[in-house]
Amino acid sequence: MQDLAAPPHCRYFEAGVCRSCTFIETPIDAQLRTKQERCAELLPAVPAAAWLAPVSGGVAGFRNRAKLAVGGVSGAVTLGILDRGGAGVDLTECLIHEPDIQAVIPFLADFVNASGIEPYSVPRRRGELKYVHVTVSPAGELMVRFVVRSEHGLGVIRSRVDWLRELLPQAAVISVNLLPEHKAVLEGEREEPLVGSALAMELGEGLTPVTLYLRPQSFFQTNTRVALALYEQAAAWVDAIEPASLWDLYCGVGGFTLFTARSASGTRRDVLGVELSEQAIRSAERSATEAGIPATFLAGDATEFALAADPAELPELVVVNPPRRGIGDTLADWLERSGIPGVIYSSCNPETLAKDLERMQSYAVREARLFDMFPHTGHLEVAVLLERRP
């Protein structure tokens, strides 16, 4: 029987061709201890007794999204990463991807090779196809996205999409993203749908699972099992507080909003989600409607929304799940003076979390938990429950 805590044997790492999983040769329990110690050092506001047991992200097959850089030459492409010189490094058998993703990468390579589309060369600034992104749902359905430089690449893939559907019948969403600029980014602003519109991510078990809908440019946590644990932890904290009203700022496609909308007893809360992306808001509204949850969602900037709010209509609890930069001084200061009794802060960057907590001295950390969303790397997710001091 395989030891699930033992380091996997990655031939790419051992050969020195890919070092993205910096700590893959370190046992996962040692990785968790190191991350926990780092959090404790960066977050002195968290009492030692407040830390709950960390949630492990697994050792292999945990990543629900593959971001595959395209290299090589037309007819002999590589799907993986680019080395420092811009040459393609094939990572077809990368161990961190979920098995359903690993299984389809060879088919995607066959499709790209047969299409004759030219891989984009970063050093020469020539070529067409830059990336292939693949996301898998818990049900095994796929979202496949091709990032190309121009209309030509879009046309090539569009003309062969029926064949791609035959190769990958489990692909619920297929789209093409256009990135004409020479930038070190994974996608451009323009997305052209070819098949479907959203990938259904059914989370949770029992009678009331929640289905979140990911559109091609939506954000979702890269480790589905750990994401569910994060949502369930937030729901448990909210149930313990029993607020009548809740705001979810930076709500994305509505994960925190929908998981915290129902109490353990089944009663409803007044919940509101705010997110800048209109696409994400439409997805969240669809999820709420299907689940029968009367949540409200607004498209807009979270900080601007909070600053414009009527002081008489503030909620009893706020959930924030910002990008790596944190919520920033303005929103942290607003929360500090708002009088709101509780905050749940989910962060993918403990350094900016520490900075924000420094500006929120009226809140005490009651509980905190590390979520190992990104095993074998130094990245992590940490969530804290804040309660306003008497």
One domain for residues 97 and 246: no
Q: Do residues 39 and 71 share a domain? A: no
Question: Considering the chain, what percentage of its residues have pLDDT values greater than 70?
Answer: 96
pLDDT at 322 over 80: yes
Q: Which residues contact 153 (CB under 8 A, 6 or more apart)?
A: 117, 128, 129, 146, 176, 178
**175, part of any domain:** yes
What does 303-337 look like in DSSP terms, one character per residue? HHHHHHS-GGG--SEEEE---TT-SHHHHHHHHHH
Radius of gyration of the chain from Cα atoms? Answer: 22
The tokens of 263 are what? 């109490």
DSSP state of 8: P
Give the model's pLDDT for residue 206: 56
Distance CA 19, CA 214 (A): 29
Structurally, the chain folds into a number of domains equal to: 2
- CA dist 314 and 342 (Å) reads 11
User: Are 369 and 247 members of one domain?
Assistant: yes
CA-CA-CA-CA torsion sign (228, 144, 252, 221): positive
pLDDT band at 77 (very low <50, low <70, confident <90, very high): very high
Could you tell me the CATH number of the domain that includes residue 141?
2.40.50.1070
Q: Are 178 and 285 in a shared domain?
A: no
pLDDT digits (tens, 9 = 90+) for 326-340: 999 999 999 999 999
List, in sequence order, every beta strand (DSSP E) within the chain. 65-73, 76-82, 88-90, 129-136, 142-148, 171-178, 190-195, 199-203, 210-214, 245-249, 270-275, 296-299, 317-320, 342-347, 363-371, 381-388
Give the closest residue to 118 by CA, choosing from 80, 73, 165: 73
| pLDDT, averaged across the chain | 94
Residue 206 is assigned to a structural domain of this protein: no
Give one word for 327, left, alpha or beta, with left for phi > 0 and alpha for psi -120 to 50. alpha
Query: Is 341 in contact with 243 (CB distance < 8 Å)?
Result: yes
Together in a domain, 229 and 377: yes
Residues 386 and 342: beta-carbon distance below 8 Å: yes
User: Is 139 contained in some domain?
Assistant: yes
Write out the catalytic residue numbers.
Answer: 348
Task: Give a yes or no: residue 215 inside a domain.
Answer: no
C-alpha span between 270 and 322 (Å, rounded): 22
**What is the mean pLDDT of the segment spanning 70-89?**
95
Separation CA 89–CA 1 (nearest Å) = 32
How many residues does the structure list for the chain? Answer: 390
Domain boundary among 174, 201, 228: 201
Same domain, 96 and 240: no
Confidence of residue 2 (pLDDT cuts 50, 70, 90): very low
Does residue 234 form part of some domain?
yes
Domain extent at residue 345? 28-59+220-388
According to the model, what pLDDT value does residue 3 have?
43
**What pLDDT is stored for residue 208 in this prediction?**
67
pLDDT at residue 150 is higher than 90:
yes
Give me 72's structure tokens: 């090589």
- Report yes or no on 18 lying in a domain: no
Q: How far is Cα 350 from Cα 83, in angstroms, rounded to an integer?
A: 29
Query: Looking at the domain assignment, is residue 13 inside a domain?
Result: no
Q: Would you say residue 22 lies in a domain? A: no
Q: What is the pLDDT at residue 266?
A: 67
Report pLDDT digits (tens) over 258-313.
999 977 666 678 999 999 999 999 999 999 999 999 999 999 999 999 999 999 99
Specify the pLDDT at position 269: 86
In this structure, the answer to whether residues 177 and 262 fall within a common structural domain is no
CATH of the domain at 239: 3.40.50.150
Do 16 and 8 contact (CB within 8 A), yes or no? no
Are 169 and 70 in a shared domain? yes
pLDDT for the residue 87: 94
- The answer to whether residues 337 and 229 belong to one domain is yes
Tens-place pLDDT, residues 84-132: 999 999 999 999 999 999 999 999 999 999 999 999 999 999 999 999 9
Give me the amino acid identity at 178. Answer: L
Confidence of residue 8 (pLDDT cuts 50, 70, 90): confident
Check: CB of residue 295 under 8 Å from CB of residue 320: no
- For 19-42, what is the mean pLDDT? 96
Residue 297 pLDDT: 98
The pLDDT of residue 1: 31
53 and 88 in a single domain? The answer is: no
One domain for residues 193 and 284? no
Distances (CA, A) of 187 to 34, 149, 384: 33, 10, 32
Would you place residue 151 in the very low, low, confident or very high pLDDT band (cuts 50, 70, 90)?
very high
Is the same domain home to 33 and 73?
A: no
The whole-number pLDDT of residue 5 equals: 62
Is the confidence at residue 4, as pLDDT, over 60? no
